[in-house]
Amino acid sequence: MKFRGILLVGAALASGAAAACNRTFLVDATDKYVAAQAEGKPATLTAITADNLNYTESDKTVDITTGVLAQPMKIDHNRSIHDTTLCATFTELIVTDPAKPYVIATRMVFTNDKASLIETIATKPGDWAFNATGYLHWNSLENWDPIPADKRDTRAVIQAAGDAYFNRFDNASYAVPFGTPCARLEGGAYTDPRGAGGNTCSLGLPSTIVVTNRRYVVDEEMGAVSIFLGFPGLDRSVPQEPMPDSHLFRVEGGKIRYIHTVSAKALERSPVVRFWMGTTPVYLFGGPKHYQAIFASRDLTYNGIMLQIGFPKLWRMTREEIQRFANDKSGHKETPLPGTEHVPPQQRYWATKYHVLYDFLSRKHHIKPIVDEFARQFSRDVVEKFPLGQWTTLSIDELTRRDFTRCAITTLFGPKILELNPDFLDAFWYFDSYASVLVYGFPRWMYPQPFRASDRFLDRIEKYVEAGLKDFDWNGPDVDAQWEPHFGTRITRELTKWLTDAGFQRKSVAGALGTLVFGQNSNTIPVVSWMLMELNKDPQLLSAVRAEVADAFVTDPLTGARTLDTQKVAALPLLQSLFTEILRLRVSMVIMRVADRPMTINGVDVPRGALVHAYSRIAQTDEATWGSPEHPADQFWPERHIKYVEERDPETGTLRKRREFAMAASPACFFPFGGGVPMCPGRHFAKNEIFTMVAILVDRFEMEFVRWTNPDGSPSDRPAESDQRFSGIGSLPPTVT
Ligand code: HEM
How does DSSP assign 507-573, residue by residue?
HHHHHHHHHHHHHHHHHHHHHHHHHHHHHHH-HHHHHHHHHHHHTTEEE-TTT--EEE-HHHHTT-H
Q: How far is the CA of 364 from the centre of ligand 1 (A)?
A: 17
Cβ-based burial of 108 (10 A; exposed 0-12, middle 13-18, buried ≥19): buried
**pLDDT value, residue 512:** 98
Predicted confidence (pLDDT) per residue in 549-564, tens digit: 999 999 888 888 888 9
Could you identify the atom of ligand 1 that is nearest to the CA of residue 589? 10
Q: How far apart are CA 546 and CA 697, in angstroms?
A: 9
Distances (CA, A) of 116 to 20, 48, 79, 132, 713: 15, 9, 21, 29, 46
Phi, psi of 220 (to 5 degrees): -70, -35
Structural domain boundaries enclosing 53: 23-278
Choose the residue to mutate in 285, 313, 483, 523 for probing ligand 1, maximizing ligand atoms within 8 Å of C-beta: 523
Ligand 1 neighbourhood includes 681 CB (under 6 angstroms)? yes
404, part of any domain: yes
CA distance 98 to 434: 12
Residue 488 has pLDDT above 90, yes or no: yes
Q: How far is CA 279 from CA 211, 301, 454, in A?
A: 23, 19, 27
Q: Determine the Cα–Cα distance for residues 606 and 281; give it in Å rounded to an integer.
A: 9
Distance 680 CA to ligand 1 centre (A): 4
Nearest by Cα to 417 from 455, 446, 458: 458
Burial-class residue 150 by CB neighbours within 10 Å (0-12, 13-18, 19+): exposed
Residue 578 to residue 17: CA distance in whole angstroms: 53
Q: 3-state DSSP call for residue 7? A: coil
Q: State what percent of residues in the chain have pLDDT above 90.
A: 64
Percent of the chain with pLDDT over 70: 94
Q: Are residues 643 and 673 in the same domain?
A: yes
- 309 and 274 in a common domain: no
Residues 682-714: pLDDT tens digits?
A: 999 999 999 999 999 999 888 888 888 877 788
For residue 248, is pLDDT > 90? yes
Same domain, 171 and 241: yes
| DSSP string over 163-217 | HHHHHGGG-TT----EEEEEEEEETTEES-TT---SB-TTTT--SS---EEEEEE
Given ligand 1 and candidates 306, 673, 690, which is best to mutate, with the most ligand atoms within 8 Å of its CB? Answer: 673
304 and 272 share one domain: no
Secondary structure letter of residue 379 according to DSSP: I
Task: Please report whether residue 735 resides in a domain.
Answer: no
Distance from C-alpha of 452 to C-alpha of 483, rounded to nearest angstrom: 32
Evaluate if residue 674 carries a pLDDT over 70.
yes
Instruction: Collect all residues with Cβ–Cβ distance below 8 Å to 481 and sequence separation of at least 6.
Output: 490
Beta-strand relationship, 49-57 and 114-123: parallel
Which of 680, 727, 731 for mutating ligand 1's site (highest number of atoms within 8 Å of CB)? 680
Domain-embedded: residue 345 = no
DSSP 565-599: -HHHHTT-HHHHHHHHHHHHHHEEEEEEEEESS-E
Has residue 20 got a pLDDT over 60? no
Measured CA to CA, the distance from residue 662 to residue 117 in angstroms comes to: 48
DSSP-derived 3-state class of residue 419: helix
Secondary structure (3-state) at 691: helix
pLDDT at 4 over 70: no
C-beta of 727 in contact with ligand 1 (< 6 A): no
Cβ–ligand 1 distance for 304 under 6 Å, the answer no
| Confidence grade of residue 618 (pLDDT, cut at 50, 70, 90) | confident
* CATH number for the domain that contains residue 259: 3.10.450.50
> pLDDT grade, residue 78 (50/70/90)?
very high
Start-to-end C-alpha separation, the chain = 20
How far is Cα 539 from Cα 8, in angstroms, rounded to an integer?
A: 27
State how far the Cα of 258 lies from the Cα of 199, in Å rounded to an integer.
10
Same domain, 133 and 208: yes
* Same-domain check for residues 273 and 304: no
- pLDDT: is 390 or 302 the higher one? 302
pLDDT at 696: 93
Sign of the CA dihedral 487, 493, 497, 498? negative
What gap in Å lies between CA 522 and CA 429, rounded to an integer?
8
Q: Is the dihedral of CA 358, 364, 365, 369 positive or negative?
A: positive
Does one domain contain both 54 and 157? Answer: yes
Q: Which of 143, 149, 99, 91 is nearest to 122 (CA)?
A: 91
DSSP 656-689: EEEEEE--SS-GGG--TT--STTS-TTHHHHHHH
Residue 293 has pLDDT above 80, yes or no: yes
The tally of domains found in the chain comes to 2
Same domain flag for 239 and 364: no
Do 565 and 434 lie in one domain? The reply is: yes
Cα–Cα distance, 695 to 575 (Å, whole number): 9
Total residues found in the chain within this entry: 737
* Position 273 in a domain: yes
Residue 409's nearest CA partner among 708, 110, 688, 689 is: 689
Q: 302 in ligand 1 pocket by Cβ < 6 Å?
A: yes
At 492 the pLDDT is 96
> Is the omega angle on the peptide bond into residue 181 within 30 degrees of 0, that is, cis?
yes
Closest residue CA from atom 18 of ligand 1: 680
In a domain, 292, yes or no: no
Binding-site residue numbers for heme are 680
CATH of the domain at 634: 1.10.630.10
Mean pLDDT, residues 361-378 taken together: 91
The answer to whether residue 235 scores a pLDDT higher than 70 is: no
Calculated CA dihedral for residues 63, 65, 68, 74, nearest 10 degrees: 170
Q: Is the CB of 126 under 6 A from ligand 1?
A: no
**Which of 3-7, 68-72, 462-466 shows the lowest per-residue confidence on average (mean pLDDT)?**
3-7
Distance CA 495, CA 479 (A): 13
**What separation in Å is there between the alpha carbon of 525 and the centre of ligand 1?**
13
**Can you give the pLDDT at residue 225?**
98
Best CA proximity match to 38, nearest among 81, 82, 102 = 102
Q: How many CB atoms lie within 10 A of CB 608?
A: 11
Please check whether residue 284 lies inside any domain of the structure: no
**Average pLDDT of the residues in 575-596:** 96
- Separation of alpha carbons 310 and 321, rounded Å: 13
What is the 8-class DSSP label of residue 347? G
Do the domain assignments include residue 285?
no
Pairing of strands 611-615, 77-83: unpaired
Q: Residue 529: CB within 6 Å of ligand 1?
A: no
Tell me: pLDDT of 730 over 90.
no
The winner for highest mean pLDDT among 193-207, 366-380, 570-584, 631-645 is 570-584
pLDDT at 198: 81
731 touches ligand 1 (CB under 6 Å):
yes
| pLDDT on residue 18 | 34
**Same domain assignment for residues 37 and 157:** yes
Q: How confident is the model at residue 210 (pLDDT cuts 50, 70, 90)?
A: confident
Residue 121, strand partner residues? 105
Phi, then psi, of 386 in degrees rounded to 5 = -100, 120
> What's the gap in Å between 642 CA and the centre of ligand 1?
26
In a domain, 70, yes or no: yes
* Residue 237 and residue 116 share a domain: yes
**Beta carbon of 675 within 6 Å of any ligand 1 atom:** yes
Instruction: Between 728 and 330, name the one with better pLDDT.
Output: 330
Same-domain check for residues 233 and 309: no
Average pLDDT score, the chain: 89
The answer to whether residue 238 scores a pLDDT higher than 70 is no
Instruction: Report the alpha-carbon distance of residue 220 to residue 215 in Å, rounded.
Output: 17
- What is the CB neighbour count within 10 angstroms for residue 115? 23
